Structure 1
């Protein structure tokens, strides 16, 4: 079991959330993937291991993980939510053509919320940064 899975399981237990095999598998899948999967993609990846599991089970667990801050739900205007395990603050580059999402870690933006608050007077609670363009594979086509 990876450290992130173990840490997340402990957080769930601390909050009195029962650890079911499906819940464990969904969490582990999200941690292992860097593809920012949709609920349907998670379902398809796990359906052979859990034939009785429904798409609703995936959505319910994703809602729980999002509420607990383990996962972020991302929408990029394609009417399809993607889910990202929250290990540390990062940003995203999204391909306009194929939809591939790439994580970007840029520590220079750590204080952006404070700067925005200082400049605007807003009580900034969160932020997100997304860049759109063509991924290397789509550029070759």
Structure 2
């Protein structure tokens, strides 16, 4: 896990981005998190250790990480973006009740991209598959 953090730090430094303690803490939190947190989640988790941290600082740093290609912003129609430091091609499943997002360990469906390119003449850059349902906790509450 530390090697992922150190690799990300090296990538930022090589891009000329200064690494403040707050920036490092946000990056480390994202890389170690599997919950796809919102900026507010990150702020609430880190503000006890960093009293001068603001929500605006978290948002600004998330933008830096997204622009640097270290973090993916997930916008699935709700009011809060979530952030994922796993930049590999993968899908997500979202709970329509509580908003939990989990990774789906399933190989990306590349034939969809090939078919889209072939049928439309587009140069396909990628795709997004959205899967919705009730997580196990919410499913138990609705049974």
- Give the alignment's TM-score, normalised by structure 1: 0.92
1:93 equivalent in alignment to 2:56: no
Aligned to 2:57: 57
2-structure distance, mates of 1:85, 1:115: 29
What does residue 25 of structure 1 align with?
25
In the TM superposition, residue 124 of structure 1 has moved relative to its aligned partner by 1.4
CA RMSD of aligned residues (A): 1.4
Note the alpha carbon deviations across 1:40-95, whole angstroms, 9 max, x for none.
11001000111011111101110011111111111222111111113411111001
The gaps in structure 2 that reach 5 residues or longer are: none
Structure 1 portions without partners, runs of 5+: none
C-alpha displacement at 1:111, in angstroms?
4.8
Q: Which moved more, 1:106-115 or 1:7-16?
A: 106-115
Structure 1 stretches of 4+ with a deviation exceeding 6 A read: none
Instruction: Please say if residues 89 and 105 of structure 1, whose CA atoms lie closer than 8 Å, have aligned partners that are also in contact.
Output: no
Q: Does 1:69 align with 2:69?
A: yes
Distance 1:11 1:110 in 2: 28
Aligned length: 141
